[in-house]
């Protein structure tokens, strides 16, 4: 099973990605978050194999969040 965590401020896109991932054999959405303000905590709790991260988000964007 591949566990995927999503960081995206667009709720519709985030929900669509979650639905697509959860309906794909061998994949599971481990978490979905609207920004990267607590990226380390979210990664530690969701324990993903893959992270999908929008780079243009408020507060902490995906570029900054990727370096946390």
Helix (H) or strand (E) holding 27: strand 27-33
Please state the pTM of the whole predicted model: 0.84
What is the pLDDT at residue 67?
47
What is the pLDDT at residue 57?
60
Q: What are the DSSP calls for 36-66, one per residue?
A: STTHHHHHHHH--SEEEE-SS-SSS-HHHHH
CATH number at residue 37: 3.40.50.2300
Say if residues 41 and 17 touch (Cβ distance below 8 Å): no
d(CA 27, CA 36): 22
Report how many domains make up the chain.
1
- What range does the domain containing 52 cover? 2-66
What is the pLDDT at residue 61?
54
What is the pLDDT at residue 40?
86
User: Which residue positions in the chain have pLDDT lower than 50?
Assistant: 65, 67
């Amino acid at each position: 099973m591949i566990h995927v965590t999503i960081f995206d401020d667009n709720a519709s896109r985030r929900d669509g990605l979650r639905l697509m991932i959860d309906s794909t054999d061998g994949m599971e959405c481990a978490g979905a978050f609207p920004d990267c303000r607590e990226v380390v905590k979210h990664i530690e709790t969701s324990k993903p194999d893959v992270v999908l991260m929008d780079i243009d988000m408020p507060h902490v964007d995906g570029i900054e969040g990727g370096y946390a």
